[in-house]
Amino acid sequence: MLLADYIEIGVFSGKKDEARLLYLKKEKLTEEHKTFVITVDQRPTLAGIDPYNKLIDRNADDNMIDITNQ
């Protein structure tokens, strides 16, 4: 299966149930372009692909990840 589609990428701050949107944009994901660097003006805590589950997905719980300080 070849990946080549526009999918929303979101970055959030705060707790998962109360997260505030910092960034949301449709980006074209392909096999060659699947890593993104996003700069926001506040410390993010969550990020993900299709964060509002608009696309059909067998496991919608794996779209978001916690961001840890490194």
pLDDT, tens digit only, all 70 positions of the chain: 577 889 999 999 998 788 899 999 999 988 888 888 999 999 999 999 999 888 887 887 788 888 876 5
* Structure token digits, residue 52: 């509002």
pLDDT number for residue 58:
82
pLDDT number for residue 38:
92
- DSSP-derived letter for residue 14 is S
Exposed/middle/buried for 14, CB within 10 Å: 0-12, 13-18, 19+? Answer: middle
* Structure token digits, residue 65: 């990840």
pLDDT number for residue 1:
58
